Chains A and B, each alone.
Chain A
């Protein structure tokens, strides 16, 4: 799932300050699950901003809407009839949703209301952790199902590096050493000897290094 984090409200205020009528646009997918940009956050943010501007004697209008997905044109169409009522849209979707909304409504400034952080998992309530960097060429079969690209600070493919101590990354005790996890996992699977296979030099052309990626599935295209 895409994990996003609410932007500091001070930053949002700086973004929206030049505009009088602002539509706060939530998204009902990933950002709802990680509680950064769903219907509830739209309500809370609209109230907070209203109070902020009321206290300063400024009249601003905050509209509210939450789409099923902002990364899908079909759902973005739902605001076509009302977007002309606003000077700007503050999107609480991930960076994909913000861009897709901006592409759909080119005449309206689209402002991000969250910071998109990573592809992660919901470990427990209020805790999300990165699991994937979408490098486009998955090595998990070789690494016991634990990703060295997203979970090692140096993304070493034959690790661990020399800085691992007590199972933790050299960055500090809050970060597991991905390679300790990989070794533990390989051991539990009875496959520790797999560690000695040298990982080939990685082809990063499927990563962002290869430029913006496009996925085409001719078999399902209409």
Chain B
């Protein structure tokens, strides 16, 4: 395990202590009023170790992730800066890494980002100067070598805990583990997975990751998103790329009254967390309650992840 950058990160300290870490996420607003993100942060502050801030998720233009991270930090919440390679070239990405480091934002998650055709600027150019693995390498290079990609020295290099995403369910399944291994070889210290609904398939993926020793090289956090309704479950199954929603989940949500489906979704989420907490290699949970942050405390508490440790 590469321990560089882990001292300043509470998330890293919790993970290193061997306790289950909990992260959640906040989407920045589609405007310049910071009150919503601060309010979302306050709701979950005591229930999580760090909060991911998405970077123009689904390619919709929003307040920049870095600014929203700063708002959270001012609320006393540790942010995880999400960075996609879709919108910025290596000059801008390195510049933002330094900007984040200047505010002592201790974590970042490297992603490629959804294609811009899904967002509000489908006619725009994408950049993808780097891919997500190369962004992991870039961040680690800046931190560990104290140098820019161009070779010049950085005065006060960033001290960041660097993560990447993994989708245990995307195709082709046979390279899911090699791909994870590749991200970790690039320097990813923690991994947050895509939302897990197919528990059996996730366990198989996790078993293979452990067999290759990957869970010892990086902390793997299981991604959880509570379903709000059977409609959401069907949408995720059919419309969201790379999502694996078993029919059993859809049947279960559909079997209860419409008004009770949201609560059933929470119950499923809690059961899944409790089940996955017993799985070898799972180091924590990343709870992505999309625009449903107020439910995170209940999930964390009832899943047995409260209180959060002092580290």
Q: Interface of A with B (CB < 8 Å)? A: 153-167, 170-171, 177, 180, 183-184, 187, 192, 195-196, 198-199, 201-202, 204
B17 at the interface (CB under 8 A from A): no
On whether the beta carbons of B241 and A163 are closer than 8 Å, the reply is yes
Instruction: For residue A65, give the distance in angstroms from its CB to the closest CB of chain B.
Output: 36
Binding site for A on B (CB under 8 A): 85-86, 90, 112-115, 117-118, 126, 128-134, 137-138, 149, 165, 167, 170-172, 174-175, 178-179, 181-182, 185-186, 194, 241-242
Cβ of A190 to closest chain B Cβ, rounded Å = 14
> When the two chains form their complex, are residues A171 and B115 in contact, meaning their CB atoms are under 8 A apart?
yes
- CB neighbours (8 Å) of B129 from chain A are 202, 204
Distance (whole angstroms) from the CB of B86 to the closest CB of chain A: 7
- B182 touching A162 by the CB < 8 A rule? no
Closest to B165 in A: A162
Q: Which residues from chain B contact A201 at a C-beta distance below 8 Å?
A: 90, 130, 134, 137-138, 149
Measured between alpha carbons, how far is A160 from B117 in the docked complex, in Å?
18
Q: A154-B86, A170-B241 are in contact. Are A196 and B170 (CB under 8 A)?
A: no
What residue of chain B has the Cβ atom nearest to residue A200's Cβ?
Answer: B134
Report whether A195 and B115 are in contact in the complex, using a CB–CB cutoff of 8 Å: no
On whether the beta carbons of B178 and A165 are closer than 8 Å, the reply is no
A interface: dominant SS: loop
Q: Within the assembled complex, what's the spacing in Å between the Cα atoms of A161 and B175?
A: 12
Q: How many angstroms from the CA of A39 to the CA of B178 in the assembled complex?
A: 52
**A180 CB contacts on chain B under 8 angstroms:** 171-172
- B85 contacts across to A, CB distance below 8 A: 154
Contact A154 B182 (CB under 8 A): no
How many whole Å from B222's CB to the nearest CB in chain A? Answer: 15
Q: Report the minimum CB–CB distance from A188 to chain B (whole Å).
A: 13
**Chain A residue contacts of B130, Cβ below 8 A:** 201
A183 to B179, CA, bound (A): 11
Q: A154: which B residues are within 8 A, CB to CB?
A: 85-86, 112-113, 115, 126, 128, 131
Complexed CA–CA distance, A170 and B130 (Å): 19
CA distance A161 to B186 in the complex (A): 16
Task: Give CA–CA (A80, B287) in the complex, Å.
Answer: 71
A residues near B112, Cβ cutoff 8 Å: 154, 156, 161-162
Q: Which residues of A contact B137 (CB under 8 A)?
A: 198, 201
What is the bound-complex CA distance between A192 and B175, given in angstroms? 9
A167 touches B172 (CB 8 A): yes
- Which 9 A-B pairs rank lowest in CB-CB distance, beginning with the nearest? A163-B241, A170-B241, A156-B131, A162-B167, A158-B133, A201-B134, A161-B112, A154-B128, A162-B242
- Are A198's CB and B185's CB within 8 A? yes
Beyond A154-B112, A154-B115, A159-B131, whether A177 also contacts B182 by CB under 8 A is no
Q: Which residues of B contact A161 (CB under 8 A)?
A: 112, 132
Which residue, A156, A158, A160, has most C-beta atoms of chain B within 10 A?
Answer: A158
